[in-house]
């Protein structure tokens, strides 16, 4: 049985920690991996790991970058880079020393860093001469980042990882364009436990409304405001055919902006902000449509929509077009175009008979391509290949 140390960053609610948890559950069923998890903070992920009997320790935050899109903030943070570097070095020192007190590194076979923004795994791998895998779950524009490690971040990553795992072609291409070597990047899609997705057989045409859900952080990046604006463009008799739930927490100012727009357009009876909901994906049987309005690195939520038999309307950006073939297993709209999104919503409202076939195809293909059992097998094969190569050296 392989012993693998996983390094997790501060986020414990959304994509990357949830995907790791799904993967570890799959490994647990196979009884082939003994995982140890290091988290930056204590939170719900630790509680779930404890419930599964998986060893985990809170090590502390090791942040190696500060990012912003605003020019004046960029200037200020550039001036403060020496301070950020000192903070980073202190956090790193504390985390490495703490790790040594809770983990027996002589029993660890390899280290798997779960997210690109936390370099602790790289430093631990170097210190204990262990192979290191770095998971790439997001894309970055280096001009918006202020790295607190000396030298160029890509050079550091190239020197401190034996393999990289990219969750989509989109993510892989993004990191290759920054300088990561193509021969070290392995594309393995995130996996979903399709067994927990509710049965998708239902009568779409008999429901009074077409119920839409958009799950994720409430933020400008996720683009909930575009859905509001799109429905506002439709005639009142069409918009009344929809009910929309936004599920998730986020920036209070952005949430207030959404509420103001909903009120101004007199759509308070259509849109509902439900807040953060535990196990939201188990409630998808109540919806017919899932909306994605952001350039996702993979689209974990998108695949869960598809597995549950929802028809997905997604913008044609990021990895969305890798998951969805327009008119075959979902619908794509022009990225950022409120009018095109409105047109696609209008089409579904007027042609409800098309929804079951698209939804059935989406469920069939997504379960075949993205069930976690497939992901777990591919990751385990990568571990085995890496370790066998280490033994030959």
**3-state class (DSSP) for residue 112:** strand
CATH classification for the domain delimited by 2-191+371-392, as one of 3.40.50.2000, 3.40.640.10, 2.60.40.1170, 3.65.10.10: 3.40.50.2000
Q: What is the pLDDT of residue 142?
A: 46
Q: Does domain 194-370 have CATH number 3.40.50.2000?
A: yes
One DSSP character per residue, 65-101 reads EEE-S-HHHHHHHHHTHHHHHHHHHHHHHHHHHHHHH
Q: CA 38 to CA 23: how far, in whole Å?
A: 16
The CB density around residue 187, as the number of other CB atoms within 10 Å, is 15
CA 284 from chain centre, in angstroms, equals: 18
Nearby residues of 323 by Cβ (< 8 Å), 6 or more positions away:
299, 302, 303, 306, 312, 314, 330, 366
Q: CA angle, 123 as apex, 89 and 372 as ends, to 5°?
A: 125
Q: What is the pLDDT of residue 55?
A: 97
Q: What is the pLDDT of residue 137?
A: 87
Q: Where are the domains of the chain?
A: 2-191+371-392, 194-370
Under a CB-based contact definition with an 8 Å cutoff, are residues 125 and 131 in contact? Answer: yes
The domains spanning 2-191+371-392 and 194-370 adopt the same CATH topology = yes
Helix axes 120-128, 81-102, angle to 10 degrees: 50
Q: What is the pLDDT of residue 85?
A: 78
Q: CA 347 to CA 205: how far, in whole Å?
A: 14
Q: What is the pLDDT of residue 163?
A: 97
Q: What letter would DSSP give residue 133? A: E
Q: What is the pLDDT of residue 62?
A: 84
Q: CA 347 to CA 354: how far, in whole Å?
A: 9
Q: What is the pLDDT of residue 201?
A: 52
**147: exposed, middle or buried (C-beta count within 10 Å: 0-12, 13-18, 19+)?**
buried
Rounded to two decimals, the pTM is 0.83
Distances (CA, A) of 256 to 219, 265, 275, 391: 11, 14, 13, 57
Q: What is the pLDDT of residue 74?
A: 55
Q: What letter would DSSP give residue 55? A: E
Digit-by-digit pLDDT tens for the chain (393 residues) are 899 999 998 765 656 888 899 999 999 988 889 999 999 989 889 999 999 999 999 998 887 765 555 555 555 556 666 777 788 889 999 999 999 999 999 999 999 999 888 899 999 999 999 999 999 988 865 444 555 555 577 888 999 999 999 999 999 999 999 889 999 999 999 998 887 775 555 545 556 789 999 998 899 989 999 999 999 999 999 999 999 999 999 889 999 999 999 999 999 999 999 998 877 777 888 899 999 999 888 888 899 999 999 999 999 999 999 999 999 999 999 999 999 999 999 999 999 989 889 999 999 999 989 999 999 999 999 999 999 876 544
């Amino acid at each position: 049985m392989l012993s693998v140390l996983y390094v997790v960053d501060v986020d414990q609610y959304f994509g990357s920690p949830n995907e790791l948890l799904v993967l570890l559950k799959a490994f647990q069923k196979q009884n082939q991996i003994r995982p140890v998890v290091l988290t930056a903070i204590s939170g719900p992920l630790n509680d779930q790991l404890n419930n599964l009997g998986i060893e985990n320790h809170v090590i502390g935050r090791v942040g190696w970058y500060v990012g912003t899109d605003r020019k004046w903030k960029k200037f200020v943070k550039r001036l403060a880079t020496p301070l950020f570097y000192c903070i980073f070095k202190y956090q790193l020192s504390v985390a490495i020393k703490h790790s040594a007190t809770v983990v027996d590194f002589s029993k660890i076979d390899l280290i798997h860093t779960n997210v690109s923004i936390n370099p602790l795994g790289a430093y631990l791998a170097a210190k204990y001469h262990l192979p290191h895998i770095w998971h790439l779950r997001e894309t970055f524009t280096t001009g918006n980042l202020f790295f607190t490690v000396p030298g160029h971040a890509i050079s550091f990553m190239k020197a401190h990882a034996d393999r990289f795992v990219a969750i989509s072609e989109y993510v892989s291409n993004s990191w290759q364009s920054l300088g990561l070597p193509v021969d070290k990047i392995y594309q393995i899609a995130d996996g979903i436990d399709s067994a927990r997705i509710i049965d998708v057989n239902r009568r779409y045409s008999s429901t009074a409304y077409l119920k839409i859900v958009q799950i994720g952080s409430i933020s400008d990046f996720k683009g909930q405001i575009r859905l509001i604006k799109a429905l506002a463009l439709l005639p009142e008799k069409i918009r009344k055919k929809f009910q929309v739930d936004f599920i998730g927490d986020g920036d209070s100012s952005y949430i207030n902006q959404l509420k103001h727009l909903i009120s101004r357009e007199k759509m308070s009876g259509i849109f509902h902000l439900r807040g953060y909901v535990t196990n939201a994906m188990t409630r998808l049987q109540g919806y017919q449509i899932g909306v994605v309005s952001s350039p996702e690195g993979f689209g974990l939520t998108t695949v869960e929509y598809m597995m549950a038999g929802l028809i997905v309307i997604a913008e044609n950006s990021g990895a969305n077009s890798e998951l969805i073939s327009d008119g075959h297993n979902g619908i794509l709209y022009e990225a950022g175009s409120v009018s095109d999104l409105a047109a696609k919503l209008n089409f579904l409202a007027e042609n409800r008979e098309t929804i079951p076939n698209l939804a059935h195809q989406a469920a069939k293909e997504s379960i075949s391509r993205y069930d976690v059992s497939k992901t777990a097998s591919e990751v385990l094969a990568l571990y085995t290949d890496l370790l066998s190569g280490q033994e030959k050296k």
